A and B are shown apart, each in its own frame.
Chain A
Amino acid sequence: MDLYPKQYLYRRVVRAKLYIDENFAGPIDLSSISDEACFSKFHFMRLFKEIYGRTPHQYLTHVRVEKAREYLAAGDTVAKACYSVGFDSISSFTGLFKRRVGVTPAIYQAEKLRIKDQVAEKPLGFVPNCFAEKKGWKKDSNFGEVKTIDAGERLSE
């Protein structure tokens, strides 16, 4: 029994959204997405935008860029990230990425890897001191990989 009116419609649109989430790397076209939701294209697009504030195509692009950010932050090359999220051209990927994120994929990655290195090098710099003290994470605690860090060096401040 439905919990609310038109629950079946919501379920179909959500199913299509999840389909995009899982198949973003492949050659998804609008027909396959609306087929997934068992809708006519027009009806599906209208409902999808009503719920998610983006057309299915805009949402697919959004997911691809977000996934690219994730892959770049994990250390994938720009080319690998580009192709892994379903883009065919590195130059168009780079242009789109820059328009959406504000910096090129290479610059975005460099910044993310810099922060990642800082976390590995000085993790206490990312933990508020009150929590660190409560946990016993202090200069003289058992941190094999952590060098001493003074309050003045805190990276998060």
Chain B
Amino acid sequence: MITKLNHVSIFVLNQDSAFDFYVNKLGFAVNTDAEMGPGKRWLTVNPPDQPELEISLMLIDDGMMFTSESAAAMRDLVNKGTFGFGVFQCDDLLATYEELTAKGVEFTKPPTKEFYGFEALFKDDSGNWFSLGQKK
């Protein structure tokens, strides 16, 4: 029986920039930041209240995971905002929206009451988008 999710990947265009976005803007904690040889890095972060969930900020690079052609296509898709990776939760959506906006996070949808809840949408520095909801 599967009991939990402990690793998930977000594909990013630049790990230094992703570090700045997820750590300095969103306020996530660095879980593991390891050099894996020249130019290679394993970088995972987690939301402050969820240390058991490692979000891997995975660089889209040519190599074992992607062919050169696939990597180029993937970078293009990410950059175009194709992928929505998940739903984050906060205690107070309006306050979080104001704070993240002040820090330069780009919202594609401001806090909006929907039939399924109160949500906003924002993009990371690569173009991945997320829903942000409020804890009920």
Binding site for B on A (CB under 8 A): 3-4, 7, 10-11, 13-15, 17-18, 51-53, 119-120, 123-124, 126-128, 131, 133-137, 141-146
Q: Is the CB of A119 within 8 A of B38?
A: no
- Tell me if A's interface is mostly helix, strand, loop or mixed: helix
**B64 with A127: CB separation less than 8 A:** no
Min C-beta distance of A129 to chain B, whole Å: 11
A14 contacts across to B, CB distance below 8 A: 95, 98-99, 102
Known: A17-B99, A51-B95. Contact between A135 and B65, CB under 8 A? yes
* Least CB separation from B32: chain A residue: A126
Contact present for B94 and A126 (CB under 8 Å):
no
- CB of A36 to closest CB in B, whole Å: 13
Contact A18:B102 (CB < 8 A) given known A127-B34, A135-B64, A135-B65: yes
B56 at the interface (CB under 8 A from A): yes
Q: Tell whether, in the assembled complex, residue A131 and residue B95 are in contact, meaning their CB atoms are under 8 Å apart.
A: no
Instruction: Give every chain A residue within 8 A of B110 (Cβ-Cβ).
Output: 3
Is B99 within 8 A of A137, CB to CB? Answer: no
Residues of B within 8 A of A127 (CB): 32, 34, 36, 42
B74 → chain A closest CB, angstroms:
14
**Interface readout for B12-39 with A: 1 if CB under 8 Å, 0 if not?**
0000000000000000000011111110
What are the residues of chain A within 8 A of B42 when measuring CB–CB?
Answer: 123, 126-127, 131, 137
> For residue A146, which residues in chain B have a CB less than 8 angstroms away from its CB?
36-37
| Docked complex Cα distance between A11 and B94 (Å) | 9
Quote the shortest CB–CB distance from B32 to chain A (angstroms). Answer: 5
Give me 12 other A-B pairs in contact (C-beta within 8 A), A10-B98, A18-B102, A123-B42 excluded: A3-B111, A4-B111, A7-B94, A14-B98, A52-B91, A52-B92, A53-B91, A123-B35, A134-B64, A142-B38, A145-B35, A145-B37
